[in-house]
Structure 1
Amino acid sequence: MSFITLTTDFGTKDHFVGAVKGAIYSELSDAKIIDITHEISPFNITETAYILKNSYKSFPEKTIHIIGVDSELSENNKHIALELDNHFFICPDNGIISMITSEIKPTKIVEINIHDRVESSFPVLDVFVQVACFIARGGNLTVIGKEVTTFKKMVEIQPKVNQAKDQIIGGVVYIDNYGNVISNISKKMFQEIGKGREFKISAKRYSFNKIFTKYNEITGKNNHDNNRFDGEKLAIFNSAQYLEIAIYRSNLETVGGASTLLGLKYRDDIIIDFINEPKPDFTILT
């Protein structure tokens, strides 16, 4: 049995998702198809990259991931299949895999070349499904494409370090279902650059000098009366270990979320300034 995941911006109103699943089952009746999400904002590559990076590792090795976002074939948007971290990914070469490949290098990448035999305006259905089923049967990637060593990288997905000003310059890459705003600044980068120093996080006209480890830490010892903290803003490293600007117990229909209350949106800057000198790294010899 093969595990095949689907990540798209198709939504669920139209026939697209059902057609893709039907085509997979027609080829592999024992396949196990898992929807990661079909609610990606239309053509939003950065959002796709964040969701993909934080979901694929939960699946068994050799899982095949079909990514259908901004997937129309063109000279500047080719289709690739790659083996990475013992998983397979089938996607457009538009930077979608940048967040994963920034930490883990692909084992093999091929540019899919079966388009000569398939004329399609719906490549996820007509091309990606064929490739996924071929891989699931044990096929070698080089049969369905020529091996390549380069692929597109999205510069905006990666935060920058300004050594002169002693700061990290990141940005909003995702807004979740609660309206919480997720940046591209990882806890690992924060610790490596910050070295335990005091800091100031700036997000538009709001600032933070503390990062919580849990949402309810904001209540302190008053956790018997959590409701009075509803709507308080906070910074936290979320479960994916990325810096998040959140509203405690946010509710988009009542309290609101960080994206609306703080006026933060996709690609807005999130900046961390480190205030004092790094703590010395030394070992005391006895």
Structure 2
Amino acid sequence: MSLITLTTDFGTKDHFVGAVKGAIYTELADAKIVDITHEISPFNITETAYILKNSYKSFPKGTIHIVGVDSELSFDNKHIALELDGHYFVCPDNGLISMIASEIQPTKIVEINIHDRIESSFPVLDVFVQVACFIARGGNLTVIGKEIKDYKKLIEIQPKANQTQTQIIGGVLYIDNYGNIITNISKKMFQDVGKGRKFKVNASRYSFEKIYNKYNEIVGNNTQDKNRFDGNKLALFNSAGYLEIAIYRSNLKTVGGASSLLGLEYRDPIIIDFFNDSKPEFTTLS
């Protein structure tokens, strides 16, 4: 049985997802299809990369991941298939792989060349499905395309430290379902640059001088009256290892999320300043 995942910005109102699944089952009747998400913001490559990077590792080796975001074929947006970390990805070469492959390099990458036989305005259905099913049958990547050595890099998702190592300049990478703000600043980068120094996280007109490891750490020992912390702003490193600005137990219908309350959206800057005077006692990083 072949395991194939789908990550798209198609939504679920239209016929697109159903058509793709039907085409897979026509090619591979025993395939197992898993929807990672179809609610990616339209054409949002960094959101796609963040979600896929933090989900693909939970699947068994050999899983094939079809990615249908900003997938229309053009001179600058070619189609590729690759093997990475024991998984296969069939996707556009629009930069999303650069985040997934930031720590693990692909074993093999090919530029898909079956377009000579297929004219399509819906490449996920007409091209990506055929490629994924070919791989699922044990086909070699080099049969579907010419091997290439590189892929498009998405520079904008990379945070930077200044020359004096006193500041990290990052940005909003993703707004999650709770309205929480996910930045592109990793815990590793924070520790490598900060080296235990006192810091201040600047997010819009708000700042944070403490970073938690879990949401409920903000409650501390106040377990009998923890509801009074509902709606409090906090910074933490989330389960994916990225700096997150959140609202404790946020409710988008009442309290609102961090994005709306702080007035921050995708690509807005998040800056961390480091100070050399002392090591903060309030840092809870492990």
Q: Provide the TM-score with structure 2 as the length reference.
A: 0.96
Offset at residue 47 of structure 1 (A): 0.4
Is the 2:97–2:151 Cα contact (8 Å) retained in structure 1?
A: no
Deviations 1:49-92 (A, max 9, x none): 10010000000001000000000001111000010111000100
Counterpart in the other structure of 2:12: 12
Q: Distance in 2 between matches of 1:110 and 1:33?
A: 23
Q: Does 1:254 align with 2:254?
A: yes
Alignment of 1:228-243 (within 5 A): 228-243=228-243
Offset at residue 165 of structure 1 (A): 5.4
Q: Distance in 2 between matches of 1:157 and 1:278?
A: 31
189-198 or 113-122, larger mean C-alpha shift: 189-198
Is the 2:80–2:111 Cα contact (8 Å) retained in structure 1?
A: yes
Counterpart in the other structure of 2:264: 264
Is the 2:198–2:278 Cα contact (8 Å) retained in structure 1?
A: no
SS of the residue aligned with 1:97? helix
Q: Distance in 2 between matches of 1:36 and 1:224?
A: 38
Q: Distance in 1 between matches of 2:170 and 2:49?
A: 15
Letter of the 2:156 counterpart: E
Deviations 1:25-69 (A, max 9, x none): 011111110000000000000100100100000000010000000
Offset at residue 197 of structure 1 (A): 1.3
Letter of the 1:19 counterpart: A
Q: Distance in 2 between matches of 1:98 and 1:226?
A: 41
Q: Distance in 1 between matches of 2:197 and 2:163?
A: 15
Alignment of 1:138-217 (within 5 A): 138-164=138-164, 166-217=166-217
Offset at residue 164 of structure 1 (A): 2.2
**How well do the aligned residues superpose, as a CA RMSD in angstroms?**
1.1
Letter of the 2:196 counterpart: G
Alignment of 1:45-84 (within 5 A): 45-84=45-84
SS of the residue aligned with 2:96? coil
Q: Distance in 1 between matches of 2:45 and 2:192?
A: 27
Offset at residue 198 of structure 1 (A): 1.1
Letter of the 1:242 counterpart: Y
Offset at residue 135 of structure 1 (A): 0.3
Letter of the 1:211 counterpart: I
SS of the residue aligned with 2:62? coil
Q: Provide the TM-score with structure 1 as the length reference.
A: 0.96
Deviations 1:82-103 (A, max 9, x none): 1011100010000011211111
* Residue-pair matches, total: 279
Is the 2:165–2:193 Cα contact (8 Å) retained in structure 1?
A: no
SS of the residue aligned with 2:80? strand
Q: Does 1:2 align with 2:2?
A: yes
Is the 2:3–2:64 Cα contact (8 Å) retained in structure 1?
A: yes
Q: Which runs of 5+ in 2 are unaligned?
A: 280-286
Letter of the 1:241 counterpart: G
Q: 1:116 to 1:231 in 2, by over 3 A?
A: same
Counterpart in the other structure of 1:23: 23
Q: Distance in 2 between matches of 1:55 and 1:218?
A: 27
Q: Distance in 2 between matches of 1:277 and 1:47?
A: 37
Alignment of 1:127-146 (within 5 A): 127-146=127-146
Alignment of 1:273-284 (within 5 A): 273-276=273-276
Offset at residue 278 of structure 1 (A): 9.3
Q: Distance in 1 between matches of 2:277 and 2:229?
A: 34
Q: Distance in 2 between matches of 1:268 and 1:230?
A: 25
Is the 1:195–1:278 Cα contact (8 Å) retained in structure 2?
A: no
Counterpart in the other structure of 1:102: 102
Percent pairwise identity: 81
SS of the residue aligned with 1:152? coil
Is the 1:98–1:157 Cα contact (8 Å) retained in structure 2?
A: no
Q: Distance in 1 between matches of 2:90 and 2:73?
A: 13
